[in-house]
Amino acid sequence: MKYKITPFNLIASFLIIWGLMLFIHRFQSDPMGFTSLAVFYCIGVSIIILVIDWIIQLATKYYKKIILIEFSIIGLFTFLFLRMERTKTILIPDNFGEGYITIIYGVENAPKLPVNFFTWTYEVPIPQNGILLTSSECNEDLPKTNVKTYSRIDLSEKELGFGHFIESEIDCNTKQYKYKSWIIQKHCCISSSKDGDSLENVLKNVYCK
Strands 161-172 and 175-185: antiparallel
In this structure, the chain runs to a length of 209
> Residue 31 is inside which H or E element, if any?
none
List residues bridging with 147 in a β-sheet: 90
Residue type, 157: E
- pTM value is 0.77
94-152 tens-digit pLDDT: 999 888 999 999 999 999 999 998 999 999 999 998 999 999 999 999 999 999 999 99
**What does each C-alpha distance from 103 to 10, 34, 138, 180, 202 come to in angstroms?**
44, 35, 9, 5, 13
- Domain residues of the chain, as ranges? 7-84, 87-207
176-207 tens-digit pLDDT: 999 999 999 887 777 777 777 888 888 887 77
